[in-house]
Amino acid sequence: MTLDVDPPEPPELAAVDPNEYEDAEVAGGEYRRDELEAFLREGAWEEAFAEWAAGSDMDEADWRIALDLELVSRFDFFWDDFADRVGYHAPGLPEDWKERDLHPDLDSWGTVSAINAGLTELGQIVCETLKEEYIDWEAEFDAPDDLPDFDE
């Protein structure tokens, strides 16, 4: 399936400690957000968005809800030096979406699941695009000398 929509502006990355997210555990404290944000603006966001939209299971109605709720602006991307990767936090709709009456067109768990899964997939593709196409720095983490050698 293809989602035929224009890419939104890339998110502005806030200075949040990624360890505050329920779904992240990051060692170190240098998250290189300024550099990542520059890469997003230089084309990584549009490139990743195009790849994601070409295979997305979200439909235009789901996407419109995500835009109306400004979910895209709440993405966070950060460098995880220990793992030598770009980490991310994808925004999502809460479990109590029905009680909170978040959006008039938000009316089923199927829609909530499609939006949450779609945004998670977008975040992953953005991370992969950044790492493969834009980042040329190496992790600065040096493993301790006393780690076991598993190659033997």
Q: How deeply is 119 buried, as exposed, middle or buried, from its count of CB atoms within 10 A (0-12, 13-18, 19+)?
A: buried
* Residue 25: predicted pLDDT: 61
* Residue 38: predicted pLDDT: 95
Closest CA to 49 of 15, 98, 8, 80: 8
What is the torsional sign of CA 60, 95, 117, 132? positive
Cα angle 62-18-74, degrees, rounded to a multiple of 5: 30
Which residue ranges make up each domain of the chain?
A: 18-134
Report the mean per-residue pLDDT for the chain.
86
Picking from 6-10, 22-26, 97-101, which range would have the lowest pLDDT averaged per residue?
22-26
Q: How many CB atoms lie within 10 A of CB 9?
A: 10
pTM: predicted TM-score of the whole model, two decimal places = 0.84
